[in-house]
Amino acid sequence: MIFVGSFRSFPPLPPSCQQSEQSSYVVEPADLPSPGIYVSTDVDLPKLQTPGTYLQRMELGADKLYKERKIRGFCHLSTGQEAVAVGIEHAISKEDKLITAYRSHGFTYMRGGTIRSIIGELLGRRDGIAHGKGGSMHMYSKSFFGGNGIVGANVPLGTGIAFAQQYGETGNVTINLYGDGAANQGQVHESFNMAKLWNLPVIFGCENNKYGMGTSADRASAMTEYYKRGHYIPGLRVDGMDVLAVFAAVKYGRDFVKKGNGPLVYEYVTYRYAGHSMSDPGINYRSREELQKNRANDPLTNLKMRLVDWGIMTEDEAKAIEKEVKRIINEEVKQAEQMPAPEATLDILFEDIYVPGSEPAQRRGRTVDETRY
Amino acid sequence: MAPLRAPLRCFAQTPRRFYSGAPTPSAKLNLPIDYKSTPILHHASSSLSNMPEFPAAATTKRLNYFQAINSALRTALSTSEKVLLFGEDVAFGGVFRCSMDLQTEFGSDRVFNTPLTEQGIAGFAIGAAAEGMKPVAEIQFADYVFPAFDQIVNEAAKFRYREGGTGINVGGLVIRMPCGAVGHGALYHSQSPESLFAHVPGVRVVMPRSPSQAKGLLLASIFEHNDPVIFMEPKILYRAAVEHVPNEYYTIPLSKAEVIKPGKDLTMISYGQPLYMCSSAISAIEKTMPGVSVELIDLRTIYPWDRQTVLESVRKTGRAIVVHESMINYGVGAEVASTIQEGAFLRLEAPVKRVAGWSTHTGLSYEQFILPDVARIYDAIKQTLEY
């Protein structure tokens, strides 16, 4: 789904871009744009290319650090799903709120978290975005209510955030994201009901990457048209491998819910290249052919090709961006690795916990490997 | 506190190793647990045959903890057609490999994946159990069980109590979940919520310490009780703990503690992974304080628990320490300590001590500061003996 508007001066879109297989707006019930309607808007197109590249490179950096055993524990990469984070961020304002599940690196960056602070968090450093307390799944920044380690648990939270926005008449909206696996959690449906009952300004968004951990969507869901899961809430299926489609859809949706029309349920059809987490090679439950086919539909390559086709950007410029991004990421990773670990004080260990008093009377050594006796 | 902090700051400025590694050469207590030599595990099949709970003349095989769970599940599935196994990603073996190959062997009618829907999984299992099945439901991590908490507390636990004359119960229902910290699980992959369930009459809460214990206790949970069982498996042991496990069907009674090591001067009560640290601390103290002997008790079932074994031991030794990994506040240690105080007050030579996790969350790079370690347990023994 492509939108027009400020690009009218550009050459016509190549036919292949006009309506890809997945990118139809499927609308049920009515009241939303029918397939083929373009949302008018203006956006600086090259600005959509760079952040995606940052995301991709950042994830590759995290992957490398994990394999070097510097990042430990749980780590969920979002390679392949960049279009969702990038498209959404450009369609909303900094005052709009966003909450998502555990695949959260991309959103953290798009919401304003620095690469250094994200990598630092993954490494468990004090200067990480959550002081090294959260790690991969638990990062927060302004207007970003974080990743969440519990599948589906963020959805009622997002609904409450939207209520607060409505109550405070802020005129803003909440983007409330979850995965195809989480779509089957009861609390998601409880949230739908409340949101519609009180007409809250929230866009529920199911990032359907086709697999809930190792189980494919059709083996876990009786009905895999996740945009229809809201029954009484209008739904929209969006090509989640297409930055522009995501952008256009969210832009439209934002206006729709802001007007007091009540919530929307979006389904971003996307694909995760990596396994569910670092311990999952991601090839036991899907074929290499399938993976290759989806990799060929890479959201960043898609966007770049279009920008080149339309003469907005040259191949060389795209390469230059990529090179620069790579350099910056390497530098940021280096800086993050130099961040200190949390200091060995009781103040830090019991920071942000409301009941002091259980702290140890004495301690020797800080960690198992530092204990001198 | 102030004088203590100053040296600690200097400590922090020494060259840092960010990643867990070998202990310093001078470390004597907080060494990594040597699972290959710990007396907690049966390293030879001969040591198994001395135990009354294991089948006599059994053939054994060396298994790690997840393989022992797998063996128990396979035994259960072949013992009764009523046994079912389901949970998130269980069909492929589960994230910790506990259900490997079971779907191939027993078919997808009996071993199957569920959607990510913990409340649904628990409620569904309760319904199936009420209709006579023996469902073994897996919650992928104990941290994910809370959406199912309502079903467990309000439905499963009260089922037998509220059923009046029908006699329906949900016995055979076992909700398995990996629990505990491994060092880098952060907020939602490290918790050990046994005390929350132990507050609820009507459920049994079990946490086995080793592969052979896990198999016997799991089979007992499935076949020998008319109460639902919360079965918690310390995930750090899945690969680390390897020992001889009987190949046959056998059960270990629930609600029965075991004296792992007899002693006369102090009773140490624990369960799950900290038992290995208790064992290390005890051998260290018995070396440095010759003549001292410490009794080590594994509760095995956390609720309803074996008060008698614990009280008998404390009446003998006069001193007690409770060790657990989960937070100290309102934890199992509080219940055990209080029971000891009521039941063995006049015999106590020292206050009952608790060594447990501190009352804070398990932040990613903070876990190792929070959990009990050998040095803390050693100190507690020393203080209690010298009280």
Claim to verify: residue B308 and residue B219 sit in the same structural domain: no
Q: What confidence score (pLDDT) does residue B5 get?
A: 38
Claim to verify: residue B159 and residue B219 sit in the same structural domain: yes
- Whats the size of chain B, residue-wise? 387
Phi and psi based region of residue B355 (left: phi greater than 0; alpha: psi -120 to 50; beta: remaining): beta
Q: What confidence score (pLDDT) does residue B25 get?
A: 67
CA atoms of B335 and B341, how far apart (whole Å): 10
Chain B neighbors of A152, CB-CB under 8 A: 116, 147
CA atoms of A161 and A203, how far apart (whole Å): 12
Claim to verify: residue B242 and residue B269 sit in the same structural domain: no
- A213-248 pLDDT tens trace: 888 998 899 999 999 999 899 998 999 998 888 988
In a domain, B12, yes or no: no
Q: Which of A123, A184, A342 sits opposite B115 (nearest CB)?
A: A184
* Contact yes or no for B236/B273 (Cβ under 8 A): yes
Q: How far is A358 from chain B (nearest CA, A)?
A: 6
Q: Which residues contact B127 (CB under 8 A, 6 or more apart)?
A: none
pLDDT at A364 over 90: no
Claim to verify: residue B225 and residue B88 sit in the same structural domain: yes
Q: What confidence score (pLDDT) does residue A43 get?
A: 62
| Dihedral of alpha carbons B201, B202, B203, B205, sign | positive
Chain A neighbors of B369, CB-CB under 8 A: 349, 366-367
Claim to verify: residue B110 and residue B240 sit in the same structural domain: yes
DSSP lists the bridge partners of residue B231 as B176, B206
Model confidence at A36, pLDDT cuts 50, 70, 90, reads: very low
Beta strand segments in chain A, E? 27-28, 97-99, 174-179, 202-208, 211-212, 215-216, 235-239, 264-269
Q: Which of the residues A66, A67, A72 would you substitute to probe the B interface, choosing the one with the greatest number of B C-beta atoms within 10 Å?
A: A72
**Tokens 């290759």 belong to which residue?**
A292
Overall domain count for chain A: 1
We report the CATH number of the domain holding residue B358 as 3.40.50.920
Claim to verify: residue B164 and residue B111 sit in the same structural domain: yes
Q: What confidence score (pLDDT) does residue A356 get?
A: 63
Which helix (H) or strand (E) segment holds residue B232: the answer is: strand B229-234
Range of the domain at B153: 45-246
The answer to whether the Cβ–Cβ distance between B95 and A149 falls below 8 Å is: no
Q: Which amino acid is at A158?
A: G
Overall domain count for chain B: 2
Q: What three-state secondary structure class fits B224?
A: coil
Model confidence at A5, pLDDT cuts 50, 70, 90, reads: very low
Q: What confidence score (pLDDT) does residue A46 get?
A: 72
Pairing of strands B301-303, B204-206: antiparallel
In a domain, B39, yes or no: no
pLDDT at A368 over 70: no
The whole-model pTM stands at 0.81
In a domain, A342, yes or no: yes
Q: Which amino acid is at B180?
A: G
Model confidence at A350, pLDDT cuts 50, 70, 90, reads: confident
Upstream peptide bond of A29 is cis (omega within 30 degrees of 0): yes
Q: Which residues contact B86 (CB under 8 A, 6 or more apart)?
A: B111, B112, B113, B114, B121, B125, B135, B136, B137, B138
Q: How far is A334 from chain B (nearest CA, A)?
A: 14
**Torsion angle of the four alpha carbons A206, A207, A208, A214, in this order, in degrees rounded to the nearest 10:** -110
In a domain, B207, yes or no: yes
Given the residues B42, B88, B155, B189, the one annotated as active site: B189
Which helix (H) or strand (E) segment holds residue A256: the answer is: helix A243-258
- B119-164 pLDDT tens trace: 999 999 999 999 999 999 999 999 999 999 999 999 999 999 988 8
We report the CATH number of the domain holding residue A156 as 3.40.50.970
pLDDT at A372 over 60: no
- Distances in Å between the Cα of B291 and the Cα atoms of B164, B288, B312, B317 are 56, 9, 21, 14
In a domain, A338, yes or no: yes
Claim to verify: residue B70 and residue B213 sit in the same structural domain: yes
**Three-state SS annotation for A186-237:** HHHHHHHHHHHHCCCCEEEEEEECCEECCEEHHHHCCCCCHHHCCCCCCEEE
Q: Which amino acid is at B302?
A: I
- Residue closest to A318 by CA, chosen among A81, A55, A49: A49
pLDDT at A13 over 70: no
- A166-205 pLDDT tens trace: 998 999 999 999 999 999 999 999 999 999 999 999 999 9
The answer to whether the Cβ–Cβ distance between B359 and A123 falls below 8 Å is: no
CA atoms of A217 and A220, how far apart (whole Å): 5
- What ipTM score was computed for the predicted complex, to two decimals? 0.71
Burial A8-21 (b: 16+ CB within 10 A, else e): eeeeebeeebebbe
Tokens of B372: 């009990």
Claim to verify: residue B178 and residue B278 sit in the same structural domain: no
Which helix (H) or strand (E) segment holds residue B196: the answer is: helix B194-198
Upstream peptide bond of B304 is cis (omega within 30 degrees of 0): yes
In a domain, B251, yes or no: no
Given the residues B42, B88, B118, B367, the one annotated as active site: B118
Q: In A, residues 70-109, which contact B (CB 8 Å cutoff)?
A: 70, 72-74
pLDDT at A369 over 90: no
- A277-336 pLDDT tens trace: 988 888 888 999 999 999 999 999 988 988 888 888 899 999 999 999 999 999 999 999
Whether chain B has a CB inside 8 Å of the CB on A365: the answer is: yes
CA atoms of A108 and A88, how far apart (whole Å): 12
Q: What three-state secondary structure class fits B104?
A: helix
The answer to whether the Cβ–Cβ distance between B12 and A366 falls below 8 Å is: yes
Burial B109-128 (b: 16+ CB within 10 A, else e): ebbebbbbbbbbbbbbbbeb
Q: Find, in chain B, the residue whose alpha carbon is nearest to that of A187.
A: B147
Residue, of B353 and A146, whose pLDDT is higher: B353
Concerning whether B118 is annotated as a catalytic residue, the answer is: yes
| Dihedral of alpha carbons B5, B6, B11, B16, sign | positive
Q: In A, residues 174-213, which contact B (CB 8 Å cutoff)?
A: 181-182, 184-187, 212-213
Provide block-wise average pLDDT over 10 residues at a time, chain B (387 residues): 38 40 69 93 86 82 97 97 95 94 96 93 94 95 95 94 87 97 90 96 97 97 96 97 95 96 98 97 96 98 97 98 96 97 96 94 87 93 96
Q: What confidence score (pLDDT) does residue A133 get?
A: 87
In a domain, A256, yes or no: yes
Which helix (H) or strand (E) segment holds residue B268: the answer is: strand B266-270
In a domain, B24, yes or no: no
CA atoms of A207 and A77, how far apart (whole Å): 14
The answer to whether the Cβ–Cβ distance between B363 and A133 falls below 8 Å is: yes
CA atoms of A127 and A336, how far apart (whole Å): 8
CA atoms of B34 and B36, how far apart (whole Å): 5
The answer to whether the Cβ–Cβ distance between B368 and A368 falls below 8 Å is: yes
In a domain, B211, yes or no: yes
**DSSP 8-state code for residue A146:** -
Whether chain B has a CB inside 8 Å of the CB on A359: the answer is: yes
Q: Which of B4, B18, B359 sits opposite A341 (nearest CB)?
A: B18
Q: What confidence score (pLDDT) does residue B202 get?
A: 94
**DSSP 8-state code for residue A81:** -
Claim to verify: residue B159 and residue B308 sit in the same structural domain: no
In a domain, B17, yes or no: no
* Contact yes or no for B362/B185 (Cβ under 8 A): yes
CA B304 from centre of chain: 14
Q: What confidence score (pLDDT) does residue A370 get?
A: 55
**Tokens 């492509």 belong to which residue?**
A2
Whether chain B has a CB inside 8 Å of the CB on A224: the answer is: no
Q: Which amino acid is at B259?
A: V
* Contact yes or no for B340/B310 (Cβ under 8 A): yes
Claim to verify: residue B303 and residue B207 sit in the same structural domain: no
The answer to whether the Cβ–Cβ distance between B366 and A285 falls below 8 Å is: no
Give start and end residues of each alpha helix (H) in chain A.
Answer: 15-18, 46-67, 82-91, 105-110, 115-122, 154-167, 186-197, 217-220, 243-258, 288-295, 299-309, 315-337, 346-349
pLDDT at A343 over 90: no
CA atoms of B279 and B184, how far apart (whole Å): 24
In a domain, B123, yes or no: yes
Q: Which residues contact A327 (CB under 8 A, 6 or more apart)?
A: none
CA atoms of B178 and B235, how far apart (whole Å): 5
Claim to verify: residue B369 and residue B280 sit in the same structural domain: yes
Range of the domain at A328: 25-31+40-367
